[in-house]
């Protein structure tokens, strides 16, 4: 018996409600990759959960229960693992790092990454974070002077790539000031390709390569060449520093890459260069996509609500004083509203619409018997739109995330269940980058609203969710003007 609830009457997977499919294909034809998450949510509303759909002959169970989600995530990695096709395909990409790796290799890698993304490390890194934010401000200032519409999602991805690279690897590619940086364009191909291959009925690319597959393979060759060069430069610098400090106490590794290389090169480590490279690539991709998307969704609401934008601007200007970027880590902690606008946006537009798991042994969840290896999708948005979890859940209301406001207005504001917000996961494998993400959100939103007015340059109704492993906006064009 596991931590999840069980009903007395045991059901099998085939007893669950299911959308009508086709022989051999199952429901594949009803699940276009870009919008399949919306179809899964619609079926949940129509059929209730749990239900089952089929990738060809493979059944996938779909659930929408917060307590069950927390129970499953608490029991990782010993009872559940991430959806196996994700790890298998990321291995092919050379990107099977902390996000997807399973088994005994996970824990030592987790310790390394947690150290690199710890609060003391982020605090020490803050001057570099502020400098990269100032670089983004200058880019937007130039666009405002030129009257140029800015595609915000792309600029935000450049910002997060620069931050992640500087923090984790000690090298800043400066994609914000170098208009064409190949690594950023190549990284942008990885998650869409992962989504397409995870959803493919069979591994066709093992037998035939279409032009898009060949283009992706060439991009990954270049990315891995870049990563190996990064590792070689780090090793050379570490040797020089060790020689210069031969009679002194060795310094602690200065970033994640240094720490991984020191561990890999220690006698008997059992870690390979391939594993180090996989974690470098994992950090680059994860650092680019999720935080940039969370901020971009917040701009949809700020860019269409002048009163809210003015309020956030006043909050930012009060904290920033005469600075154009938040001047210190301590001051950044006062920008709760700037983080709240992003959190609330990703409640309505979750960056991760669902998480996918498999049990490593037979389990029984809510009276359903699931053999080992059964595919499990845990939907996020339905719980975040449930009035039992959030009062007036369809309304965009950043104040629901402000602690003081909730305390002062607890009774009239109604339900607020933070455990229903699972954008960073939960349990032992909760996202190690969540603090860095919060700092980036606060820095960018405060810089934007303190220095610019921003208006959405398209009809809000034309902006759609596109699932490229994460749910990104189809576009986020904005016109900026200096305040």
DSSP state letters, 187-251: HTTHHHHHHHHHTSSS-GGGT---HHHHHHHHHHHHHHHHHHHHHHHHHHHHHHHHHHTTTSPPP
Report the alpha-carbon distance of residue 315 to residue 335 in Å, rounded. 7
Give the residues across from 63 on adjacent strands: 378
Task: Write down the residue that tokens 């009809």 correspond to.
Answer: 459
pLDDT at residue 1 in the model: 45
Beta carbons of 94 and 277 less than 8 angstroms apart:
yes
* Ramachandran region, residue 2 (left: φ > 0; alpha: ψ -120 to 50; beta: rest): beta
CA 96 from centroid of its chain's CA atoms: 16
> Which residue stretches of 245-327 are H helix?
256-265, 273-302, 306-320
Phi and psi, residue 62, nearest 5°: -120, 135
CATH 1.10.630.10 fits 13-482, yes or no: yes
In tens digits, what is the pLDDT along the chain, a chain of 483 residues?
Answer: 454 544 457 999 999 999 999 998 899 889 988 899 999 999 999 999 999 999 888 999 999 999 999 999 899 888 998 888 888 888 888 887 776 677 666 776 777 677 667 788 888 889 999 999 999 999 999 999 999 999 999 999 999 989 988 888 888 888 888 866 667 778 888 888 888 888 787 889 999 999 999 999 999 999 899 889 988 998 898 888 888 877 666 666 777 788 788 878 888 777 788 888 888 888 877 766 788 999 999 999 999 999 999 999 999 999 999 999 999 999 999 999 999 999 999 999 999 999 999 999 999 999 999 999 999 999 999 999 999 999 999 999 999 999 765 444 444 568 899 999 988 888 777 777 788 899 999 999 999 999 999 999 999 999 999 998 789 999 999 999 998
Do the beta carbons of residue 194 and residue 469 sit within 8 Å?
yes
Tokens of 100: 């997807």
Q: Binding residue per annotation — 467? A: no
pLDDT tens, residue by residue, 352-392: 999 999 999 999 999 999 999 999 999 999 999 999 999 99
- The domain segmentation of the chain, as residue ranges, is 13-482
pLDDT reported for residue 396? 97
467-to-61, 90, 456 alpha-carbon distances in Å: 19, 18, 22
Predicted local distance difference test score (pLDDT) of residue 7: 46
pTM: 0.88
């Amino acid at each position: 018996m596991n931590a999840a609830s069980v009903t007395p009457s045991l059901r099998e997977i085939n007893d669950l409600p299911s959308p009508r499919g086709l022989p051999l294909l199952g429901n594949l034809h009803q699940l276009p990759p870009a919008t399949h998450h919306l179809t899964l949510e619609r079926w949940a509303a129509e059929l209730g959960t749990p239900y089952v759909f089929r990738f060809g002959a493979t059944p996938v169970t779909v659930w929408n229960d917060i307590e069950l989600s927390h129970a499953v995530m608490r029991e990782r990695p010993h009872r559940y693992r991430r959806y196996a096709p994700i790890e298998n395909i990321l291995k092919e990409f050379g990107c099977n790092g902390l996000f997807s790796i399973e088994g005994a290799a996970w824990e030592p890698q987790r310790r390394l990454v947690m150290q690199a993304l710890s609060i003391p490390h982020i605090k020490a890194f803050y001057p570099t974070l502020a400098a990269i934010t100032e670089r983004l401000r200058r880019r937007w200032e130039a666009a405002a002077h030129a009257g140029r519409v800015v595609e915000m999602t792309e600029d935000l991805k450049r910002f997060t790539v620069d931050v992640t690279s500087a923090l984790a690897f000690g090298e800043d590619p400066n994609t914000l000031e170098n208009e064409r940086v190949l690594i950023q364009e190549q990284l942008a191909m990885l998650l869409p390709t992962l989504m397409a291959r995870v959803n493919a009925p069979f591994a066709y690319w093992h037998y035939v390569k279409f032009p898009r597959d060949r283009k992706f393979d060439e991009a990954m060759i270049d990315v891995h060449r870049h990563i190996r060069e990064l590792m070689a430069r780090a090793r050379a610098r570490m040797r020089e520093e060790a020689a210069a400090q031969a009679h002194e106490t060795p310094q602690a590794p200065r970033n994640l890459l240094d720490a991984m290389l020191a561990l890999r090169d220690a006698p008997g480590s059992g870690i390979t260069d391939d594993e180090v490279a996989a974690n470098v690539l994992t950090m680059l991709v994860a650092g680019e996509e999720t935080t940039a998307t969370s901020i971009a969704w917040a701009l949809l609401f700020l860019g269409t609500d002048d009163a809210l934008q003015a309020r956030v601007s006043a909050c930012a200007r009060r904290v920033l004083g005469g600075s154009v970027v938040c001047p210190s880590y301590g001051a950044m902690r006062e920008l709760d509203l700037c983080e709240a606008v992003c959190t609330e946006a990703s409640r309505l537009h979750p960056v991760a619409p669902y998480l996918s798991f498999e049990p490593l042994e037979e389990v029984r969840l809510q009276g359903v018997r699931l053999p080992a290896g059964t595919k499990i999708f845990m939907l996020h948005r339905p719980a975040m739109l449930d009035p039992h979890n959030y009062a007036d859940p369809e309304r965009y209301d950043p104040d629901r995330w402000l602690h003081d406001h909730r305390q002062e207005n607890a009774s009239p504001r109604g339900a607020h269940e933070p455990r229903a917000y699972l954008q960073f996961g939960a349990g032992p494998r909760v996202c190690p980058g969540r603090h860095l993400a919060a700092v980036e959100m606060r820095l960018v939103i405060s810089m934007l609203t303190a220095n610019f007015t921003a208006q959405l340059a398209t009809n809000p109704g034309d902006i759609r969710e596109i699932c490229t492993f994460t749910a990104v906006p189809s576009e986020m064009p904005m016109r900026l003007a200096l305040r």
